[in-house]
Chains A and B, each alone.
Chain A
Amino acid sequence: MLSRSSPDPDLSSALPPAAVRCRGLIKRYDDVVAVDGLDLEVRSGECFGLLGPNGAGKTTTIEILEGLLEPDAGSVEVLGLTWAHGARALRERLGVQLQETRLADKLTVEETVRLFRSFYRRGRPVQEVLEAVQLTEKRRSWVSRLSSGQRQRLAVACALVSEPDLLFLDEPTTGLDPQSRRSLWELIERFRAAGRTVLLTTHYMEEAARLCDRVAIMDHGRILALGTPAELVASLGAEHVLEFSLADGGGGLSDAELRALPGVTRVRESNGRIALTVREVHTTVPALLDELRRRGASLASLSTHHATLEDVFMVLTGRRLRDE
Chain B
Amino acid sequence: MSRLEHAPLAQLTLARIREFGREPEAVFWTFFFPIVLAFALGIAFRERGPERVWVGVQAGPGARALAAALQGADNLRVRVLEPAVAGEALRDGDVALVIVPGGARVTYRYDPTRPESRLARLATDDALQRAAGRRDRVAVSEEAVEERGSRYIDFLIPGLIGLNLLGTGLWGVGYTVVRMRTGKLLKRLLATPMRRSHFLLSFMLARLGFLAAELALLLFFAWVAFGVGVRGSLATLAFIAALGAFAFTGVGLLVASRARTLEGVSGLMNLAAVPMWVLSGIFFSAEHFPDVMQPFIRALPLTALVDALRAVMLDGAPLAATAGWLGIVALWGAGCFGAALAMFRWR
To the question of whether A and B form a pair in one complex, the answer is: yes
In the bound complex, residues from chain B placing their C-beta under 8 Å from that of A91 are: 191-193
A107 contacts across to B, CB distance below 8 A: 15, 18-19
A102 with B185, Cβ < 8 A, contacts A107-B15, A114-B11, A118-B5 known: yes
Tell me if B347 is interfacial: C-beta within 8 Å of chain A: yes
Interface flag for A129 (CB, 8 Å): no
Interface size grouping (class) on chain A: 20 to 34
Task: Say yes or no: B18 contacts A116, CB within 8 Å.
Answer: no
Say how far B231's CB is from chain A's closest CB, in angstroms. 40
Q: Which residues of B contact A100 (CB under 8 A)?
A: 184
Q: List residues of B (169-190) whose CB comes within 8 Å of A's CBs.
A: 179-180, 183-185, 187-188, 190
Chain A residues near B6 (CB, 8 Å)? 117-118
Report yes or no: B194 in contact with A119, Cβ–Cβ below 8 A.
yes
With A106-B22, A106-B23, A118-B5 as contacts: A101 and B193 at CB distance below 8 Å = no
Closest to A144 in B: B22
Q: A107-B19, A114-B11 are in contact. Are A119 and B193 (CB under 8 A)?
A: yes
Residues of chain B lying within 8 A (CB to CB) of residue A106: 18-19, 22-23
Which residues in window 79-95 of A have CB below 8 A to B? 88, 91-92, 94
- What chain A residues lie within 8 Å of B22 (beta carbons)? 106, 142
A91 to B5, CA, bound (A): 20
What is the bound-complex CA distance between A278 and B12, given in angstroms? 59
Encode contact with A along B1-26: 1 for CB under 8 Å, 0 otherwise: 00001111011101100110011000
Docked pose: A231 CA to B187 CA in angstroms: 36
> Which residues of chain B in 189-227 are interfacial with respect to chain A, using CB atoms and an 8 Å cutoff?
190-194
Which residues does chain A contribute within 8 Å of B19, judged by CB atoms? 104, 106-107
Contacts of B190 in A (CB 8 A): 68
Contact B15 A96 (CB under 8 A): no
Min CB distance B16 to A, Å, is 9
Contacting pair A101 B192 (CB below 8 A): no
Q: In the bound complex, what is the Cα–Cα distance between A66 and B187 (angstroms)? A: 11
A292 proximal to B (CB < 8 A) = no
The closest CB in chain A to the CB of B189 belongs to: A119
Q: How far is the CA of A100 from the CA of B184 in the complex (A)?
A: 7
Chain B residue at smallest Cβ distance from A100: B184
Residue of A whose beta carbon sits closest to that of B193 = A91
Residue of B nearest to A112 (CB): B15
Give the CA-CA distance A115 to B187 in the complex, in Å: 15
CB distance from A130 to the nearest CB of B (A): 15
Which residues of chain B are within 8 angstroms of A158 by Cβ–Cβ distance?
Answer: 188
Question: A102 contacts B184, CB within 8 Å?
Answer: yes
Q: A148: shortest Cβ distance to chain B, in Å?
A: 14
Given A102-B185, A118-B6; A111-B18 close (CB under 8 Å): yes
Q: Are B15 and A104 in contact (CB under 8 A)?
A: yes
Min CB distance B299 to A, Å, is: 37
Q: Is the CB of B187 within 8 A of A114?
A: no
On chain A, the residues within 8 Å of B5 by CB distance are: 114, 117-118
CB nearest to B10 among chain A residues: A118
- Min Cβ gap A251→B in Å is 51
The answer to whether A104 touches B185, judged by C-beta atoms less than 8 angstroms apart, is: yes
Contact B191 A67, beta carbon cutoff 8 Å: yes
A98 on the B face (CB < 8 A): yes
Chain A residues within an 8 Å CB radius of B14: 111, 115
Instruction: Report Cα–Cα, A114/B7, bound state, in Å.
Output: 10
B residues bordering A, Cβ < 8 Å? 5-8, 10-12, 14-15, 18-19, 22-23, 179-180, 183-185, 187-188, 190-194, 347
10 sampled A-B residue pairs with Cβ under 8 A: A91-B192, A96-B191, A96-B192, A98-B191, A102-B184, A103-B185, A103-B188, A115-B11, A116-B192, A118-B5
Pick the 7 closest A-B CB pairs, nearest first: A102-B183, A118-B11, A91-B193, A96-B191, A106-B22, A119-B192, A119-B194
